[in-house]
Amino acid sequence: MTCMQKIAAAAAAATLWAGTALADLPVLRAAVLEFGTVNWELDTIGTHGLDQANGFDLEVQGMAGEAASRTAFQGGAADVIVADWLWVARQRAAGKDYVFIPYSRAVGGIMVPEDSPIDSLDDLAGGKIGIAGGPLDKSWLILQAYAAETVGMDLAAETEQVFGAPPLIFKTALQGETDAAINYWHFMAKMKAGGMRTLVDVSDAAEALGLDPNTPLLGYVVKGEMLRESPELVDGLAAASRAAKAMLASDDAEWDRLRPRMNAEDDAQFAALVEGYRAGIPDEGPVDEAAAARMLELMARLGGEELIGDATTLPAGTFHTPGT
């Protein structure tokens, strides 16, 4: 089915549901970062009635941080959150029945100023790298493995690292206070618009390490109990997400509508954010679990128990394919 056919199908379904009172639909409470990029998709779902078209009423709860959203989910105050599948695997290994539905495969990378003499990872020796998150940031771990594999470099030992929140790393990078920076994809888009270039993309590093860059890292997370008791609700969420993605993949006017909430300072940032979101739309169909298992094994080797807990192998049932 083409993007336009998906949009038409969603519109037809919305018309079908138009006469149904919202009170008759189950409410799906999503706890997400108040200013996170997932809100662009959730806004599209709500504005175009894609939730009601797929049998539920979406209620978005803005959270101050990742910890707050996970607390709401684990405590029963929310039905769905967005998290990476490695966290879901860790929770399943600890006995919690959480399930992952792909949302995005967008990943970060390491960037340097456009006019920097740094052309390869070994040029970073003796330099300072700003890193969003902490020492167990997944992009940082993959890049360390990539550096060791390709140029025989101990990236952590041969550079100085400065860890911080994504906005801080973004700011210090543009001000030239670091030689390179590792950040999340939407900050990378803004950094590119601000005159920086990608030295190594995490997806390229992952592929060089034998991983599948198409493995979606981020996804909607629900509880297995909901999947068993209301599979149509979980699949409805996935269908609404896909319909929103179809719009955002092809409709520039939809992005114009979303622009006020995208925090883009100029046209270059706006265009880079749109391009980055579209590039991160995952393929339809089941996740390649063998590829995911290889990534988990790498993360277990690099980050150990502190990162993945007891999930040394991929727990069965981590990924859900809608319709199955």
Q: Are 296 and 63 in contact (CB under 8 A)?
A: no
Q: Are 214 and 288 in contact (CB under 8 A)?
A: yes
Residue 117 DSSP one-character state: S
Q: Element (H or E) spanning 129, and its range?
A: strand 128-132
Tokens of 272: 């880079």
The whole-number average pLDDT for the span 94-112 is 95
Write the DSSP string, 167-211: HHHHHHHHTTSSSEEEE-HHHHHHHHHTTEEEEEEHHHHHHHTT-
Q: Are 157 and 236 in contact (CB under 8 A)?
A: no
Q: Report the pLDDT value the prediction gives residue 14, as an integer from 0 to 100.
A: 46
Which residue(s) pair with 31 in the sheet? 61
Q: Supply angle C-alpha 188, 184, 269, rounded to 5.
A: 35
Give the pLDDT confidence of 259-289 residue by residue, as tens digits.
999 999 999 999 999 999 999 999 988 999 9
Tokens of 291: 């590829």
CB atoms within 10 A of CB 161: 15
Give the pLDDT confidence of 15-50 residue by residue, as tens digits.
444 444 455 899 999 999 998 999 999 999 999 999
Which residue(s) pair with 128 in the sheet? 160
Question: Which residue blocks in 209-230 are alpha helix, DSSP H?
Answer: 224-229
Q: Supply angle C-alpha 16, 18, 20, rounded to 5.
A: 95
Distance between CA atoms of 128 and 161, rounded to whole angstroms?
6
Q: Are 323 and 54 in contact (CB under 8 A)?
A: no
The whole-number average pLDDT for the span 145-170 is 95
- In 3D space, the residue among 83, 38, 45 whose CA is nearest the CA of residue 62 turns out to be 38
- In 3D space, the residue among 188, 211, 191 whose CA is nearest the CA of residue 201 turns out to be 188
Domains of the chain, earliest start first: 3-105+215-308 (3.40.190.10), 109-208 (3.40.190.10)
Give the pLDDT confidence of 279-321 residue by residue, as tens digits.
999 998 899 999 999 999 999 999 999 999 999 999 999 999 8
Least confident window among 126-130, 209-213, 247-251: 209-213
- In 3D space, the residue among 103, 87, 127 whose CA is nearest the CA of residue 42 turns out to be 103
- In 3D space, the residue among 10, 19, 72, 18 whose CA is nearest the CA of residue 45 turns out to be 10
Q: Report the pLDDT value the prediction gives residue 146, as an integer from 0 to 100.
A: 95
Report the C-alpha dihedral over residues 100, 101, 105, 107, rounded to 10 degrees.
-40
Give the pLDDT confidence of 226-238 residue by residue, as tens digits.
999 999 999 999 9
CA 97 vs CA 30, 273, 317: distances in Å: 18, 34, 9
The whole-number average pLDDT for the span 178-198 is 94
Find where tokens 């929310």 sit: 78
Residue 307 identity:
L
What sign does the CA torsion over 106, 109, 113, 118 have? negative
Q: Report the pLDDT value the prediction gives residue 35, as an integer from 0 to 100.
A: 87
Q: Report the pLDDT value the prediction gives residue 108, as an integer from 0 to 100.
A: 86
Q: Are 108 and 202 in contact (CB under 8 A)?
A: yes
With pLDDT > 90 as the criterion, what percentage of the chain qualifies? Answer: 86
